[in-house]
Amino acid sequence: MRKVFLSFALLVLFGVEAFGEVSVFKISRQYGLDTLPFIVINDKNLFQKYAKEAGLGDIKIEWLTLAGGAATNEALLSSSVHINSNGVAPFTRLWDKTKGKVKAIAASGKQTLELVSSNPNVKNIRDLSADDRVALPAAKISIQSLILQIATAKEFGIKNYDKFDHLTITLSNPDALISLTSPKSEVTAHFSNEPFTSVELQYPNIHKVLSSADVVGRGVTTGLYSTTQEFYDNNPKTIRVFLKALNEAITWIDSHQKEAIDLYIRAEKSKESPELLLSILQRGDVEFSLKPSGITKFSDFLYETGAIKSKPTQRELFFDAIFETDYK
C-alpha cells in the first residue's frame, strides 16, 4: 500500500508526462521561408490530428522562435525545447559534443544560401577586407559561417579556412537585413537564407557575392530537426506524429505553393510581395524534404578542421525513424 501511495504521489508531483509521452510538445523555429511546414502544421492542426489517431489525446504544441544555431542548441540542452530546428553545422557540433546523445529526427530541407554585399568593391570573397563586416545568424557556428569557411578553404587552402572569421558578427536575419540596408551601419555583407536574400537584392546597391550552390552544390541538406536520445526513447509516438504532420505539410506545400505563401504572409505578418516569395519556391531555392542528402560534405569539413572529434557517416547522425517509412 505504501508503494502504491508513493507512486501516486510522484505522479502528482511530476505530472503524467514523467511516466509517458509529453503533454506539451515544444519546438524551436527560426526566421525564414524554411518555417513554412510549421506554419502549415499549425494552420491545419495536422499535429493534433495525428496525435489523436495515435492515442495521445489533446497534446499541445508550442513554438519557440530563436535566432541562430547557438541559441537553439542551448534551448535543447536545457530542455526548453524538445525538438531543435537549425542548420547542419550547429547540429553536427552538438552531436559531437554530446557523443551522439543528440541526433537528427529528419532533414528539414535544402536551401540556396547566399552572401550579399553593399560594398561595391567586394565582387568575390577575395575582396573582403578589414573594413567589411559580415552578418550571420551565429558567427563561427551557423551553416552560413561553415559555407563561408569551405569557400575560403577552396580559395586559400585548408589551413586558411578561418581567414575571414574575424569579419563575421552575429545578428538575427531580420536585424541583419535592417543593418545592411541602413546607410550608417557597419554591416557591409549578410550571409543569409530566403526570403532575406531576395529582399536585400531588390536594393540597387546590394549584389550577390557567393552562393552555397557554388560551394557545395545544389540538393544538399542544410537544415535538420533534432532531439535528445532521452526524449526520442521516451516519446516514440510523439516523434512519429511529428514526422507524419511534417510529411503531410510538405506534400501540401508542393501542390499549393501560392496558398502556402499566403499562409506565410499572414502568419509572419510579412510585408514582402507574394510574387517575390512565390518566385523563391518556384525556382527551387527553398525545397522541403525529410530525407537527408549530402550532409557529410559539412561534417567531413568540420572533422578535417578539428571542429569535431569524430567523423560520422550520414546514417550515424540520424535516429532510425526517418529511414523506416517512405517519407517525402
283 CB-near residues (< 8 Å, 6+ apart): none
Closest-CA residue to 150 (of 32, 291, 316, 303): 303
Q: How confident is the model at residue 105 (pLDDT cuts 50, 70, 90)?
A: very high
- Average model confidence (pLDDT) across the chain: 92
Which comes out higher in pLDDT, residue 242 or 9?
242
Whether 218 and 286 have beta carbons less than 8 Å apart is answered as: no
**What order do you get walking across the sheet with 223-228 strand by strand?**
84-87, 223-228, 102-111, 286-287
| pLDDT at 132 > cutoff 60 | yes
| pLDDT at 100 > cutoff 50 | yes
Whether 67 and 33 have beta carbons less than 8 Å apart is answered as: no
**Which residue intervals of the chain bear CATH 3.40.190.10?**
21-111+220-324
- Note every long-range contact of 250-259, with CB atoms under 8 Å and residues 24 or more positions apart, other chains counting: 250/37, 250/288, 250/289, 250/290, 250/328, 251/328, 252/40, 252/44, 253/36, 253/37, 253/40, 253/281, 253/288, 254/288, 254/328, 257/281, 257/282
Instruction: Give the CATH architecture of domain 114-216.
Output: 3-Layer(aba) Sandwich (3.40)
What does DSSP assign to residue 32?
S
The pLDDT tens digits of the residues spanning 48-96 come to 999 999 999 889 999 998 877 888 899 999 999 999 999 999 999 999 9
Domain 21-111+220-324 has CATH 3.40.50.2000: no
At 308 the pLDDT is: 98
- pTM of the entire structure? 0.89
The pLDDT tens digits of the residues spanning 151-178 come to 999 999 999 999 999 999 999 999 999 9
Q: How confident is the model at residue 183 (pLDDT cuts 50, 70, 90)?
A: confident
184 grid coordinates: 550608417
User: Rounded to whole angstroms, how far apart are CA atoms 78 and 211?
Assistant: 34
At 318 the pLDDT is: 97
81 grid coordinates: 525545447
Q: How confident is the model at residue 27 (pLDDT cuts 50, 70, 90)?
A: very high
User: Within 10 Å of residue 207's Cβ, how many Cβ atoms?
Assistant: 15
